[in-house]
Copies of this chain bind each other. A is one copy, B any other.
Amino acid sequence: MAESVLRFGMVGSGYMAKMHSLALRNVEAYSWPDLPKIEMARMADISPEAAETGSRRWGWREACTDYREVTRADDVNVVVIITPNSSHAEIAIDAFKHGKHVLCEKPLADSVEAAERMKDAADKSRKVGLVNFVYRAWPGVELARQLIAEGEIGEILHVDGHFFQDYAADPGLPFSWRFDKKAAGAGAFGDIGSHITDIACALAGPIARLSAISKRIHEFRPGPGPAASAVTVEDLTSVLVEFTCGAVGALHASWAATGRKCDLGFFVTGTKGSLRFDWERSNELHFFSSSDPQRTGGFRRIVLGGVHPGAEPFWYAQGQGLGYAEGFVITLRRLIEAVLKGDTAVRPSFHEALHISHVVDAALRSADQRVWINVPPTKAFA
């Protein structure tokens, strides 16, 4: 084993602090050979109160207000970045420069330019960099990826993907930074569309070009205070995509899709088979193989369990079911294994996340200009 203790630091104390902190508390319990001891060393937040409360609540040893006390700390091996997107670049680059491994929340950055610099910093550092597209490592998604890699569905022809939620369907939902283009960079397609884009690319490889259309559903939202604020991002985007491999299809995202609670799903059609997955029924994957006899063939509902990738250490029976929180543990295990092995190619990588940033950027420009836009070629997702 490379290291017998792995010390983590976290920058940010918001929503995602819970998910990552729980994963850090629990990951030891999921055994594998040569597990290092996990230490939750320090949490930084620019608000001293937030740093204090968060570190206490989630079990971090120390609180601090300057992210450099994490990225440059001697007692930190891995930096987890969960701050707003616009600060990811500065923090991640500093961490890499000071020899830390980095687990960065998605999307990688608020601009393609920042994402590019982060990718370069990761490359240069030769440290492990992993971007938390958390659904990617999910057993059902990873099993789909493996089956495709093994040729089970032949050549991919068509990819249909979507991520729909309805939490912002209500026009009364107060204004927040998510509805502000400056702060968020993008709307629904950057926020949740990046997830389904990431999955689509993990399955079918990079996107070569796209044509998109967007809608802003609610022009104003209440707040802050008694006023209303102008929404400056899109609530709904649909994107026609062509993958480098030749497959075509569409990706959709909206956070205002009435009735769709956490409806992340894909349908991938190949020359020899097809795969379907829906997050709302996350413990199953549907697989059609044209090698089955016509009389008894059909989509197989594979009930996920310990025999499937990523789920082994949980050892629950097939069908007993993993939950969203366990996705963070699975991702964290990937990271830890990569650190132990010095595997800088672990995925979702900064190279991959940069491609997703390019796709989101291209989609929004395409929707604006009503033209097809080529996405820069990449070696990611190879």
Copy tally for this chain in the complex stands at 4
Do A324 and B322 touch (CB < 8 A)?
yes
Do B157 and A261 touch (CB < 8 A)?
no
Do A274 and B287 touch (CB < 8 A)?
no
Q: Mark A65-79, 1 if CB is under 8 A from B, else 0.
A: 000000000000000
Q: Name the one of B31, B164, B239, B324 contacting A269, with C-beta atoms under 8 angstroms.
A: B164
Chain A interface main SS type:
mixed
The distance in angstroms between the C-alpha atoms of A238 and B165, with both chains bound, is 23
Q: With A305-B261, A323-B322, A370-B372 as given contacts, are A250 and B248 in contact (CB-CB < 8 Å)?
A: no
Do B26 and A18 touch (CB < 8 A)?
no
Chain B contacts of A298 at CB under 8 A?
259, 284, 286-287, 300-303
Does A320 make an interface contact (CB < 8 A)? yes
- Besides A157-B236, A169-B271, A300-B301, 20 new A-B residue pairs in contact (Cβ under 8 A), listed by A number: A18-B29, A22-B26, A25-B26, A26-B26, A152-B296, A157-B254, A158-B254, A158-B257, A169-B290, A238-B249, A239-B240, A258-B273, A258-B274, A258-B290, A261-B320, A262-B321, A279-B319, A282-B321, A292-B300, A301-B301
Chain B contacts of A242 at CB under 8 A?
213
In the complex, the chain B residue whose C-beta lies closest to that of A323 is B323
